[in-house]
Amino acid sequence: MGQLQKGSKKLLNAWAFYDWANSVYTLTIASSIFPIFYSALFLSEVKRVEAFGYEFKSTALITFVTAFTFLVVAVISPILSGIADYVGNKKSFMKFFCYVGAIGCIGLYWFSLERIHLSLLFYFMGLIGYWGSLVFYNSYLPDIAYEEQQDSVSAKGFAMGYIGSVILLIINLVMVMSQENGEDKMQMMRYSFITVGVWWALFSQYTFYILPKGVSSGHKVTRSIVFNGFKELKGVWNQLKENLRLKRYLYAFFVFSMAVQTIMLVAVYFGEEEIAWGSDDAKTTGLIVSILVIQLVAIVGAILTSKASSRFGNIKTLVFVNFIWMALCFYAYFMETPIQFYIAASIVGLVMGGIQSLARSTYSKFLPETEDTTSYFSFYDVAEKIGIVIGMLIYGFIDQITGSMRNSILFLFLFFLVGIILLYRVPKEGYQES
């Protein structure tokens, strides 16, 4: 088929539809069914596991593995984006990571403590597949949408992702809750991991069919260009010195995104361990219901945040949303009952989609006139990943040492406070707030 024009409705919808395909990973694997499944593997009250020659608290282990995965993504994404720019086919890389992630999700069917290292490899594949594909997915945004379209199409992508992932989670929830005993529930959770992998690989095909391949250069990959991505990152860093607005925004984004992503990655583990649910069945149902609440409210949150940014400007809206996140950290430290957890989940939903969508589109607006969008978004993604590595390591370290995730979540309060201060330092000059 012929290449669609930039800004065309069909092209924008096809780009946003990848969120529908891949968001099932973040909901079922990262946020709900897998954390519940993982916690249920530990039958004793002392949730500790032997891995890599050490004994870990169960939640600290998964936190450290997650941090390691993001470190790998941060290191390899500049290499891959450099190759993609040189060869001119970033869609192939996006496909590769999509399929690695989908296979990783399916592999979680065999996750067990007896095969902990193989199991963690499948977990690693799912995580690296999701985030690796996002490097190239995000870099398409300035290529397919004009500046005035970017806020709305970014929000539309997140909204589609929430809707699609909620549909599959409800199916998974019915599968799990239809069983009476714990062993059968665990088996249904294993089946749900397969549904995620199949959904992700299947629905991404429409996006891959419509999105342009990229500007083909006819170049072949040689050893000399493997590290082009790092040279490009250095080039972006040098250009940032001349773009104060973009540089200061990136500092703020680095700090607040570190906290946001950490909370989203550990929320269910926190709820599973720190909230008094009363029974295992009540815990499973309560955690999944709270995740559903987050997703449904997040659709509204993404739309409200987009409208707020149109009226008050992106930076002011981001500052306000960060204040809400900061209050949430303080509230989470003291919450103990399911109803308190549901309240927190509702507020998280309201600000979760909004801050992700707005952070991405604000960065896109701040970019200078350039055709090399992949390098700039690679820089954005590397900053985000390194932030997550630091956030998760701090969170896991405090959890492992103190034995309580409450102390970890309270510490994240500081990141939002610093993020707000840095956002106030972003200059308004030359910034078109639409």
Q: Is residue 77 part of a domain?
A: yes
Q: Provide the phi-psi class of 50: left if phi over 0, else alpha when psi is between -120 and 50, else beta.
A: beta
Query: Has residue 96 got a pLDDT over 50?
Result: yes
**Average pLDDT for 100-116:** 93
Q: DSSP string of 119-153? A: HHHHHHHHHHHHHHHHHHHHHTHHHHS-HHHHHHH
294 or 103, greater pLDDT: 103
Q: Is residue 338 part of a domain?
A: yes
**Average pLDDT for 16-28:** 90
Q: Give how many domains the chain has, as a whole number.
A: 1
Q: What is the pLDDT of residue 433?
A: 41
Q: Position of tokens 């936190």? A: 63
Q: Return the SS3 of 368.
A: coil
Cβ–Cβ < 8 Å for 287, 272: yes
Q: What is the pLDDT of residue 103?
A: 97
- The model's pTM is 0.78
CA contacts within 13 A on the Cβ side of 23: 23
pLDDT single digits (tens) 278-308: 877 788 888 888 887 887 787 788 788 888 8
Q: Is residue 251 part of a domain?
A: yes
Q: Position of tokens 């088996």? A: 187
Cβ–Cβ < 8 Å for 67, 394: no
- Alpha-carbon span 155 to 384, nearest angstrom: 19
Q: Return the SS3 of 49.
A: strand
Q: What is the pLDDT of residue 222?
A: 63
Cα–Cα–Cα angle for 146, 150, 154, nearest 5°? 145
Query: Has residue 428 got a pLDDT over 90?
Result: no
Query: Has residue 78 got a pLDDT over 80?
Result: no
Query: Has residue 254 got a pLDDT over 80?
Result: yes
**Average pLDDT for 42-58:** 73
Locate 59 and state its tokens: 């939640």
Residues 6+ apart with CB under 8 A from 90: 81, 84, 136, 139, 140, 214, 374
Task: Tell me the residue range of the domain where 266 lies.
Answer: 9-216+225-424
CATH number at residue 366: 1.20.1250.20
**Average pLDDT for 311-330:** 89
pLDDT single digits (tens) 168-187: 988 998 898 888 887 898 89
Cβ–Cβ < 8 Å for 49, 56: yes
Locate 1 and state its tokens: 């088929």
Q: DSSP string of 267-296? A: HHHHHHHHS--SSHHHHHHHHHHHHHHHHH
Region of poorest pLDDT, from 1-10, 107-116, 128-137, 345-354 = 1-10
Highest mean pLDDT among 6-15, 30-39, 203-212: 203-212
**Average pLDDT for 63-70:** 89
Q: Is residue 433 part of a domain?
A: no
Query: Has residue 151 got a pLDDT over 60?
Result: yes
Closest by CA to 133, choosing from 107, 160, 96, 83, is 96
Mean pLDDT of the chain: 83
Between the alpha carbon of residue 324 and those of residues 264, 391, 420, the distances in Å are 15, 19, 11
Q: Is residue 317 part of a domain?
A: yes
Buried b (16+ CB within 10 A) or exposed e, 394-418: bbbbbbbeeebbbebbbbbbebbbb
Q: What is the pLDDT of residue 374?
A: 66
Query: Has residue 130 got a pLDDT over 80?
Result: yes
Residues 6+ apart with CB under 8 A from 189: 33, 34, 36, 37, 172, 176
Residues 6+ apart with CB under 8 A from 290: 271, 341, 342, 345
Containing 57, the helix (H) or strand (E) segment is: strand 54-57
Query: Has residue 434 got a pLDDT over 50?
Result: no
